[in-house]
Structures are given as C-alpha cells and as structure tokens.
Amino acid sequence: MREPVHQAQRKVWRNGALSEGARLIPEETALALTYNGGTYAVMMGTPEDLGDFAVGFSLSEGVVQSADEIETLDIVELDNGIELRMWLKSEKAERLAERRRHIAGPTGCGLCGIDSIAEAVRPAAIVSAGRAFTPREIMAAVATVPPLQEINHQTRAVHAAAFWTKTGGIVALREDVGRHNALDKLAGALARDKVATSEGMVLLTSRVSVEMVQKTAAIGAPLLVAVSAPTALAVKMADAAGITLAAIARSDGFEIFTHPERVAGAVAGKESAYVVVA
C-alpha cells in the first residue's frame, strides 16, 4: 500500500542563499469508492486509514445508516489510484441504484458532483442533547490535537479531525490532505469501534463549512469545535441540527455560535456569538 508521506528533492531560496535537500510532503492519491461493482465517487486523499474513510464516507453520504450494512470491504491498489470496493446488503444495493451519482472530487471538496441544490443543503440529522462541557475541558481538548498529528508533524500540510471525551481524552484522530476526508475517516473509526458519540466532541483543525456540520451531525456529536471560523450556512445548519458550534479556538478562548447551553458559564443573550476567554 502507498505510504502517506513522500520524500521530495527540492532547492530552497531563503535569506539570499540557495540550498538543496529533501523534504517530506503528503501523498495525494485518487480514491475510488465503489458499491456492488459501480463507482459512486472518486476523491483525492491521503492513502492512510482507508477502511475508516470508506465506512465514514458511506455513513455521511447516507449510502448506509450503519457500518453493519456493508457486507464486505476490500482495499485494492491500482496503477493510478486505490479502489475502496464495498458490497452492500441487497436492500441497500437496490436503494443505492436508484440514487447513484458520480462525483469527481478534488482535494478538499465536500459537495462536488451533487446534482441538485436541495441535496447540497439537505437538513442535517438532529443530534441528542448529549453532554455539557466546561470551557477548560474544551480548551484542553483542542490543545491535545497538535501533538498527535503525526503526518502533519512531518509535512505541515494536512488537516486533522479528532474525537474527545471526558473519560478517554482523544479517542480517535485521523489526518488527510482533505478536511472532509479527515472527518469521514474519523466517522468511520468511531462507527467501527462503536463509540458512544453523544458523550464527546468533534475537533477540527480547519474551517467549518456546511458539509462539515452535516458530517458531524451524521456522527451524532453534540459539540463541534474548530480552530477557524464557520460560514454563515454552517452556523444556520448547526443551529437547526442542535449542535453546539464553537470556533476560532485559541489558547485564550473560543467563540460559541450556536446552542451555548452545553458550555458551562455561557449565558444566552442577543449576540450571535458568545466569546469565552480563559
């Protein structure tokens, strides 16, 4: 199987001087997701944790509602990419045939190829009440992510998605050149390990767009925390899904855009965001 990191030779021009040497960069590979012999999507991503990616993508896309509906999963390396070959239970296969679409998904693309506006902005699943968290817990969770980003330590070029609980800390963390892929990989890992997702929070090293909220809702996490800002549609979607969306998380605090009641000490007011400072 392809390695997730590649060593590239390069020349460096810095401070008026030229040097050369090697640098580690992330691998980017075409990943074809096929169901019962037909290609559903082709995404560009990092060839790591591909079983998790296949399951997570299937769940977040609504192809299946449970990982158990995937009867077999084979990872097949081809000359120009990798095929994630899945066979679904018969009733799922029939339903998929009715709504099959083909996606050509460049790196970081989460909605490419969707053939209707209604499908692109489909309502997210409604999450359960779940746990409440303190600002200290949220900031501690965010701080635990960077040290665990092994591929990013080598390349400084990939995103991460992680899941944190009060009792277990970081339960799972996945990386990819595409932020959507990283979250799909996380979703697959949590589903395969049957993690109780209402007990923790999703952590992102990227911005929050609408599909990241949809994927978090499919996971069933009550709290989504990101280091970058959300889009307006992401805020609207998180509010409707019952997700507490916290973003712009830094060492000194974060901003809560929706459902602040899950964060201890956040008092509702007229503002559109609640700023929590450590």
109 is catalytic: yes
* Residue carrying structure tokens 């390349």: 155
Is residue 67 helix, strand or coil?
A: helix
Q: Contact 111/205 with Cβ under 8 angstroms? A: no
Give me the catalytic one of 73, 75, 109, 264: 109
Is residue 63 helix, strand or coil?
A: coil
Q: Is 57 exposed, middle or buried (0-12, 13-18, 19+ CB in 10 A)?
A: buried
Closest alpha carbon to 108 in 228, 220, 28, 18: 28
DSSP letter assigned to residue 246: E
Q: Contact 161/170 with Cβ under 8 angstroms? A: no
Q: Could you give the CA distance from residue 256 to residue 274 in angstroms, rounded to a whole number?
A: 5
DSSP string, 191-225: HHTT--GGGEEEEESS-B-HHHHHHHHHHT-SEEE
Strand partners, 225: 203, 246
| Backbone φ, ψ for residue 235 (5° rounding) | -65, -45
User: Kindly report the CA angle at 145 between 183 and 33, in degrees rounded to 5?
Assistant: 20
Catalytic residues: 109
